[in-house]
Structure 1
Amino acid sequence: MENPLTNEYARFFADDTDWYNDIVLGTLLPHFMWDPLPRFFQTWLRNYIGGVLLYFISGFAWCFYIYYFKRNAFIPKDAIPSRKAMLLQISVAMKAMPWYSLLPTISEYLTEIGWTKSFPRLYHVGWLPYVSYLAIYVVIVEFGIYWMHRELHDIKPLYKHLHATHHIYNKQNTLSPFAGLAFHPLDGILQALPHSIALFIVPVHFTAHLALLFVEAIWTANIHDCIHGKVWPVMGAGYHTIHHTTYRHNYGHYTIWMDWMFGTLRDPEEDEGKKM
């Protein structure tokens, strides 16, 4: 017997998908260009365009601020990456973006047909469960990204054929916000996969899931700018710069907790103190 709640959720999810598609595609493209497409491809196109816009808007805004408007205020002149390095990063990211966009599209489809534990409206669970589920979701994502990232280093064929593409940026003057999504396509998908896996483990508001997935693009730009924000326990760019220079530390994403728990944390301030 069919679960009526699943049917109700499916209607909400479908309505949300149509609304998101119309906001992005309807604003940027004539309807005849995307209306005839199957809904799956409409959703993929919306995620692709949204990802590209987010990448360039956040990347150019942040580069302008730290490399030009506040030139020499945050990082020394010789640490500013060349235009050639940034153009290479953009090229790698743009080749991967169509593939990155598949992951949220597939997650959305599986959610619409009732395969995940997601719920579409806050009132379906209430505020306290909403916050609790979201906290559990973030912990699962943190744990998953940490181990996925670490194994991409530890399993040599994965590093050689996938993750090494990202680690050619291994000095301050080769790292920039545009390096944040400059991965082999499969590498980028694997590191974002914990977001989708978590949907099958814990009930989470699907719009919150989508928002956090796209926040990844902003966050990953931030942690590649070489500016250490010193906001404990955030895994800021100071920690991630160390990761790009030692290859063996600071695999975490949003916080330092997983590296602290599993013995791979290296503090940038302590690191700087040892050099002096």
Structure 2
Amino acid sequence: MFLKVLIHSICFAVKFDCCIVCSYSELFKNFFHLDFEDAIPSNRAMLLQIYVAMKAMPWYTLLPTVSEYMIENGWTKCFSSISEVGWFAYITYLAMYLVIVEFGIYWMHRELHDIKPLYKHLHATHHIYNKQNTLSPFAGLAFHPLDGILQAVPHVVALFLVPIHFRSHIALLFIEGVWTANIHDCIHANLWPIMGAGYHTIHHTTYKHNYGHYTIWMDWMLGTLRDPEDDSRQKAQKVQ
């Protein structure tokens, strides 16, 4: 069973990565070319990111494989049907789960910066993409394998702390891949309080701001938030 789940997870990961490659096509690049020429990464940079991501992809599948094994053996608080708890409890548990994940990923990400050996040997692999014109959706999965696994650990820890619908948990793991690709495309949608690409681009250029995941709340509470709108205004003032 474990081997079967592992094989399925690897196949899923490869298919997902191929979908990302297709989505960031030349047509997409050309659409933004006129207004964002300086922000478009080179083909060489994107190919390197794809290489790093694909090399790490089989390792990324280990954590969801282990978590699904634990779920199927009844070691976690997962439940299989919403009817077991009702919609109100489901929504409450889902909100609690997301809060735990938000908290956990913020601190995991921040410690990967603050603990120097972790940064040097793990997270620095991802932060070689430290300028806007080196970032692309492919950079979102271009991590050292252990780094990528560590940043997903809060999803698994949450399974033991709060009841969560199994399919919702799997869906949220899938959304992780979509989200991390999205926040590396340098296209700031400015949807408060979402921690979008504008915030994350700042993170890649300053290294000490915007560690958060889906929202800005953790950075706001802990003083590490840097708003892209304020950042743009400051740059404009310096130019003047």
TM-score, length-scaled by structure 1: 0.83
Match of 2:189 in 1: 229
Alignment partner of 1:60 is 2:14: no
8 Å Cα contact 1:169-1:244 kept in structure 2? yes
Measure the CA separation in 2 of the matches of 1:260 and 1:107. 31
The within-5 A match list for 1:38-49 is 39-49=1-11
Output one character per residue of 1:4-36: Cα deviation in whole Å (capped at 9) or x when no partner. Answer: xxxxxxxxxxxxxxxxxxxxxxxxxxxxxxxxx
Q: Please say which structure displays the higher CA radius of gyration.
A: 1
The within-5 A match list for 1:231-270 is 231-270=191-230
What is the letter of the counterpart of residue 10 of structure 2?
Y
What is the letter of the counterpart of residue 46 of structure 1?
H
Measure the CA separation in 2 of the matches of 1:269 and 1:212. 29
Alignment partner of 1:82 is 2:42: yes
The within-5 A match list for 1:170-185 is 170-185=130-145
SS in 1 for 2:32: coil
Output one character per residue of 1:129-150: Cα deviation in whole Å (capped at 9) or x when no partner. Answer: 0110000000000000000000
What is the letter of the counterpart of residue 45 of structure 1?
I
Aligned residues: 236
The within-5 A match list for 1:121-200 is 121-200=81-160
What is the letter of the counterpart of residue 212 of structure 2?
G
Output one character per residue of 1:135-192: Cα deviation in whole Å (capped at 9) or x when no partner. Answer: 0000000000000000000000000000000000001111000000100000000000
How many percent identity over aligned positions? 67
8 Å Cα contact 2:17-2:54 kept in structure 1? no
Match of 1:24 in 2: none
8 Å Cα contact 1:96-1:185 kept in structure 2? yes
Alignment partner of 1:112 is 2:111: no
Output one character per residue of 1:78-115: Cα deviation in whole Å (capped at 9) or x when no partner. Answer: 22111111111111111111110011110010011111
8 Å Cα contact 1:63-1:176 kept in structure 2? no
Q: CA deviation at 1:224?
A: 0.2
Unpaired stretches in structure 1, ≥5 consecutive residues: 1-38
Q: Please, what is the CA RMSD of the aligned residues? A: 1.1
SS in 1 for 2:192: coil
Output one character per residue of 1:247-270: Cα deviation in whole Å (capped at 9) or x when no partner. Answer: 000000111011001110000000
TM-score, length-scaled by structure 2: 0.95
What is the letter of the counterpart of residue 11 of structure 2?
I
Q: CA deviation at 1:65?
A: 5.1
SS in 1 for 2:189: coil
8 Å Cα contact 1:59-1:221 kept in structure 2? no
Measure the CA separation in 1 of the matches of 2:24 and 2:108. 27
Q: Which 4+ residue blocks in structure 1 deviate beyond 6 angstroms?
A: none
SS in 1 for 2:234: helix
Measure the CA separation in 1 of the matches of 2:43 and 2:33. 17
